[in-house]
Amino acid sequence: MSTSNREFVETFQRFLTEVIGSAQRDNETTPLGQIANDFLGSDTVTLPIVQHSFPPHRLVDADLALAELGSRGGESLIGVSGGQQREHSSFAELLNSGFSRFAAGPVDYVSIPDGPDSTRRVVAFGMHRILFEGIPVVVLQRAAQPQFGRELALVEVLAADPAVSSRFIEELSRLMLSLSVLRGQVLSFSAGDFHNHAAGATFLRRPEVPAEDVVLTAGTLDAIVRHVVGIGEQRERLRAAGQHLKRGVLLYGPPGTGKTLTVRHLLSRTQGTTVILLTGSSIQFITVAAELARAMQPAIVVLEDVDLVAEHRGLHGPQPLLFAVLDALDGLDGDADITFILTTNRVEVLERALAERPGRVDLSVEIPLPDADARRRLFARYAHGLPFSAAAIATSADRAAGTTGSFAKELVRRAVLLAAEEDREPGDADLESALDDLLSDQTHLAQVMARNTEGADDHSSSHHEVTGTYAPPSGQPYLSRLTISSDPS
């Protein structure tokens, strides 16, 4: 054998030795793995790992469920050393690795809201040793870590008998539902810090809006309440009669007419019902919301300003989010006690999509501009407790034909402000003066918009300006005058 061939053979032998040695080191038990081996009475390298992943907003539920399982047969909890490297390692690698000697360390905790005004300290990274059905089980609990590419929280289970691991996961899932802190709460979803499509849940206080605060045309509120609340109250009888419970409600009408206030009243009437509020960009989480609603029945899913979704265009064509909304309604069984409430300022945007999929919305209610009687009640409501005469309130309401509840609210505030600026109590004259100003602003806006409409085809104009009042959605600030100006120079 030539010298060069001999050198090649020796080099190749060293290479094989390194490869074999590396493979052997990969199966070396880490100090953490030895702890698991001793508890299980088996070598973890031969045992399959059963996983259960779930959204980050279910981590508190998992923590409660694991605490309950641990209390039944006793448990001990340890952390895992290894810094950021452990975040990139699987459970199997934490237990058996020739390159990192993962060992017991302090438990990682994180505080997570479990209600509108409370938090719970939960395990973010830790290994439980639990006796389940009298059999040793090792469980790794990990919070989601989007910065490390892990979008979901994770529970991983090891037992000498894989069937025990599967039964453990089944019981864990059952307890996560029965002990859930999400049940009966009012929630909203928002995008996470590291991923726009990762849903994070926020707890909201349930609104308290009595029926007398909702001023609609006679009979309108009763019809909505009967459909949303009444069906839920009679769910058992309806199920026994083979009737479906799932319902869709569409509230439509101009901004500021009371759609949002109506929804808030419905939420105040449905104590104990899980509510998911989606508006604007958060409607992208409709699939997550529908899955949560299915698990936490009875439930209400509110989609505000759904016309904005209908106009959205994505990479896969027009209205993908609207189709996702309609698919969510389709994907639920008829006996699911879930209500979808959609609100829109422009129902015409939705008409075609809803017509193509009939049955998704079984009650459509127009919330129009208040009539004369409703206006008087609105004006009286916002002026309650203030020194305005009943005659002045009624006269103001009659003069303000075609306005919304937002207009009435701003009118009263402006009248009070006029008096406050002169350091005196408000009176009827302030109400009249404030009304004159607001109506003048509206008239000016209408005139300017008319002029701009007439000159819409005149492209020679280098400057455009629109000035006037703006009637915002209910509960939002009212602008007395809004100017939109564009000047190419």
Residue 333 pLDDT:
72
CATH code of domain 372-486 = 1.10.8.60
Return the SS3 of 140.
strand
Residue with tokens 């409370």: 118
Instruction: Tell me the average pLDDT across 257-265.
Output: 95
Residue 418 pLDDT:
95
Least confidently predicted of 188-192, 206-210, 219-223? 188-192
Distance of CA 212 to the CA centre of its chain: 29
pTM of full prediction above 0.85: no
More confident residue, 320 or 207: 207
Span 390-439, pLDDT tens digits: 999 999 999 999 998 889 999 999 999 999 999 999 999 999 999 999 98
Q: What is the DSSP string of 283-315?
A: GGGHHHHHHHHHHT-SEEEEEETHHHHHH-EET
Query: For residue 388, what are its two tokens?
Result: 């305005």
Q: Where in the chain is the domain with CATH 3.40.50.300?
A: 186-366
Q: Where in the chain is the domain with CATH 1.10.8.60?
A: 372-486
Residue 285 pLDDT:
87
**pLDDT of 157 over the 50 cut:** yes
Query: For residue 469, what are its two tokens?
Result: 């009042």
Return the SS3 of 442.
helix
Residue 12 pLDDT:
58
Residue 57 pLDDT:
92
Q: Binning pLDDT at 50, 70 and 90, where does residue 283 land?
A: confident
Residue 6 pLDDT:
62
Span 15-35, pLDDT tens digits: 544 544 444 445 799 999 999
* Bridge partners, 142 (sequence order): 125, 154
Residue 150 pLDDT:
84
Span 217-247, pLDDT tens digits: 889 999 999 999 999 989 889 888 988 888 8
User: Do residues 125 and 79 make contact, with C-beta atoms less than 8 angstroms apart?
Assistant: yes
Residue 196 pLDDT:
47
Could you give the CA distance from residue 301 to residue 292 in angstroms, rounded to a whole number? 10
Residue 26 pLDDT:
54
Q: Binning pLDDT at 50, 70 and 90, where does residue 275 land?
A: very high
**pLDDT of 177 over the 60 cut:** yes
Span 28-83, pLDDT tens digits: 999 999 999 999 999 999 999 999 999 999 999 999 999 999 999 888 999 999 88
In this structure, which amino acid lies at residue 385? G
User: Do residues 98 and 24 make contact, with C-beta atoms less than 8 angstroms apart?
Assistant: yes
Span 431-477, pLDDT tens digits: 999 999 998 877 655 556 566 655 555 544 444 444 444 444 444 44
User: Do residues 264 and 211 make contact, with C-beta atoms less than 8 angstroms apart?
Assistant: no
Span 344-370, pLDDT tens digits: 988 887 766 675 666 678 899 999 999
Could you give the CA distance from residue 33 to residue 139 in angstroms, rounded to a whole number? 12
Q: Binning pLDDT at 50, 70 and 90, where does residue 90 land?
A: very high
Residue 488 pLDDT:
44
Q: Go through 423-433 and write b for each residue having 16 or more CB atoms within 10 A of its CB, e for each that does not.
A: eeebbbebbee
More confident residue, 125 or 192: 125
pLDDT, the chain, mean = 84
Span 311-350, pLDDT tens digits: 554 444 445 666 677 777 666 676 789 999 999 988 887 7
User: Does the bond joining 116 to the residue before it have cis omega, within 30 degrees of 0?
Assistant: no
**pLDDT of 118 over the 70 cut:** yes
More confident residue, 6 or 293: 293
Residue 245 pLDDT:
87
Residue 191 pLDDT:
72
φ and ψ at residue 298, rounded to 5 degrees: -70, 145
User: Do residues 171 and 76 make contact, with C-beta atoms less than 8 angstroms apart?
Assistant: no
DSSP single-letter state for residue 255: T
Residue 74 pLDDT:
85
Torsion of CA 321, 326, 329, 334, to 10 degrees: -170
What class does CATH assign to 186-366? Answer: alpha beta
